[in-house]
Structure 1
Amino acid sequence: MEKNTEVTAVISICKSIKPTLKTLAKNLLVGLLISLPFSGSFAQGKIATGEGLKYHDFLYTGEWDYRRPVQTIYLIRDGKVKWSYDIPFKDSTNTIEELGDATMRKNGNIVFCRKVGASEVTPDKKVIWNVNAAPNHEIHSVQAIGLNRILYVTQGVPCIAHLVNVKTGKTEKEFVLPTGKPQPHLQFRRVRLLSNGNILAAHLDSNQVSEYDPSGKTVWSFKVQYPWSASRLANGNTLISNFHNTVSEVDPQGKLVWQLNQSDIPNIKLYIIQDAERLPNGNTVFANWLAGEVKDPKDWPGTVQLVEVNQQKQVVWTLSQWSNPDMGPASSFQLLDKKMLDRIPAYR
């Protein structure tokens, strides 16, 4: 690290003043060093401290906030909560609901899943579509497509991807997804319809991300431990987040072209990265879910929920929002900045 002239000046002061004042001067030096940009493995770039909710417009939710009787979906606009929607932490059968996946349509409707089912709700909070998971099945992945279609997955035996038209009420396509285990809970967290009509599935239980054509044939696959989410990028590569606090970009040939893990940003504790998005400028934003890793919720405040890094793995923005409002753990987010809208299937 190169010496800053301000640092040199403080060191000189430390040497010249009386010993009783040295502690004060050294504390000043430490504070100055902390405020300076670091190099090497500690490079963090310009962090948008103080920006918080103002830095992006976005939809946000998270599962397993067991501190409260409800779980909440938040819509953030211009740094404020523009809209929110609550569901009970437990349903009428005392089963825990999990807000693990949510997307917003162009008309403002929100499509979300809650483990025991999936729903679409309007801005005035009217539920216009709903499906409940069958016994021994769960729903952890849902995707809004355009104004009328939804892709959701019922996990269990069998595990089925359903493409439905909520306007006509018809199911347009169904096919069985292969699974690694019969237990439904950890089969999938993200399954997405691609622009080419294929489906991209992050197989959490069988350690791979696979692309299937409309007939169910595997056309691409990549082995990775416990993938949570997978999205196809504009350059044809695939962005993958996994259970082991890692975000990876791989090309169609399966070559790793970019990866971020804990060692790249050591001063931000990473837990389970449940969602990740690539911005038009090449930056990557991801959700850092802690509820299953930090058992005492008193330790949650101060941790980071969302992180944005550039291609050099420098942190450019973080969200740590545990009061006014307390947004809870981060599982799913959808960036709604104008430059992102043409990349969102729900807006097409």
Structure 2
Amino acid sequence: MKTRSALLLAVLSVSKMLAAPVPALEGHDFFYAGENKVHDMYVVKKGEIVWSYHNHKSKGEISDAVRLSNGSVLFAHQFGITLLGEDKEVIWKLDAPEGTEIHTAQPIGKERIVYVMNGPEPKCVVHNIVTDKPEREFPLKVGNLKSVHGHFRHARLTAAGTLLVAHMDGGKVSEYDEHGKEVWTTPFPGPWAASRLPDGNTLITSTKLIREVDAKGGTVWECKPSDLPDHKILNLQIATRLPNGNTLLNNWVNPWDGPIDFGTAPAQALEITPDKKVVWTLRSWAEPNNLGPATTIQLLDVPSAAENVHFGEFR
């Protein structure tokens, strides 16, 4: 009996250690995905990975992913879009037509999504996932029709019901209404992502620059890798302005450049103050908590519904 009790205590102790929070993951609850050679996504809460998805037979990179309030995940993965249930079963998917790529998609309510398609006929599409039919589409201009991969990476709806599109090869960020009318634009070198802030300013990211601009395109705030000398910044992709005024940025490591040295790889994400002081660092390359390269980091500290947005009449 004593031996059995001792064994039970040992097992419980080991289980407790395995389930203990990982210091590298503490500080925020978040959903995480990144451009990688395989599809990997994670949910981290209280310093522990509580949900993960791995598809080693996948094709294409996850350039955009959104976790909905019911735990489902909508993600664009270059050669299509997938809506995945919390149980990891596919609810709906769309394959990108031959010669095209889809790198960004966002849910609109429970029945629709909006996505941008790279290709010989680049366009924005509102698609009903219940009827599985497009309900609205309009063309988008690009810099080079033949360079499909470089057209677009990220687009985001605003609180006003318009869509901000980062024209990566067009050197601009443009805002469109649901009919495709351009209602605002500003030049920007190689924009990867853009989001509208509550005060009306726009936060734009390229691989080596984060800049907040006002309605006239004037610089309000910016951050460059040289502003963060203690951190090796390789590729910025998405920056998110937090409710506390800080900015969350991802630092993508390119796995196509060669094997990633997990011992020397830089932090995957940083939270910085307006005066560019780092107050939170995410660096988790060690197994069994290797999150891989970072593209999307959606904070889950406060419950929210990412699908509660609209695009003009589409809700």
Q: TM-score range by the shorter chain?
A: 0.7 to 0.9
> Could you say which structure has the higher helix fraction?
1
Residue in structure 2 matching 1:181, options 125, 128, 144: 144
5+ residue gaps, structure 2, are 1-21, 310-315
1:346 aligns with 2:307: yes
1:76 aligns with 2:62: no
Task: Give the C-alpha shift of residue 145 in structure 1.
Answer: 2.6
Give the share of equivalent positions with the same residue, in percent.
39
> Superposed, which structure 2 residues align to 1:157-172 within 5 Å?
157-172=120-135
Match of 2:206 in 1: 242
1:230 aligns with 2:194: yes
Change (3 A) 1:210 1:336: same
Match of 2:294 in 1: 330
> Superposed, which structure 2 residues align to 1:112-261 within 5 Å?
112-182=75-145, 183-243=147-207, 245-261=208-224
SS at match of 1:185: helix
Bigger shift: residues 78-87 or 282-291: 78-87
Distance in structure 2 (CA, Å) of the matches to 1:320 and 1:149:
35
Residue in structure 1 matching 2:31, options 53, 56, 59: 59
Residue in structure 2 matching 1:284, options 236, 247, 251: 247
SS at match of 2:149: coil
Distance in structure 2 (CA, Å) of the matches to 1:195 and 1:297:
39
Maintained 8 Å contact 2:35/2:61:
yes
CA RMSD of aligned residues (A): 1.9
Q: TM-score normalised to the size of structure 1?
A: 0.78
Distance in structure 2 (CA, Å) of the matches to 1:145 and 1:78:
29
Distance in structure 1 (CA, Å) of the matches to 2:88 and 2:148:
30
1:238-280, CA deviations, whole angstroms, 9 ceiling, x for partnerless residues? 011102x211100111110000111211010111111111101
The AA in structure 2 aligned to 1:322 is: W
Higher Cα Rg: structure 1 or 2?
1
Distance in structure 2 (CA, Å) of the matches to 1:272 and 1:293:
13
Maintained 8 Å contact 1:105/1:147:
no
> Superposed, which structure 2 residues align to 1:278-317 within 5 Å?
278-291=241-254, 295-298=258-261, 301-317=264-280
Matched residue count: 286
Maintained 8 Å contact 1:151/1:192:
no
Distance in structure 2 (CA, Å) of the matches to 1:154 and 1:74:
26
1:17-38, CA deviations, whole angstroms, 9 ceiling, x for partnerless residues? xxxxxxxxxxxxxxxxxxxxxx
Distance in structure 2 (CA, Å) of the matches to 1:132 and 1:301:
37
Change (3 A) 1:168 1:296: closer
Distance in structure 1 (CA, Å) of the matches to 2:278 and 2:162:
33
The AA in structure 2 aligned to 1:327 is: L
Match of 1:32 in 2: none
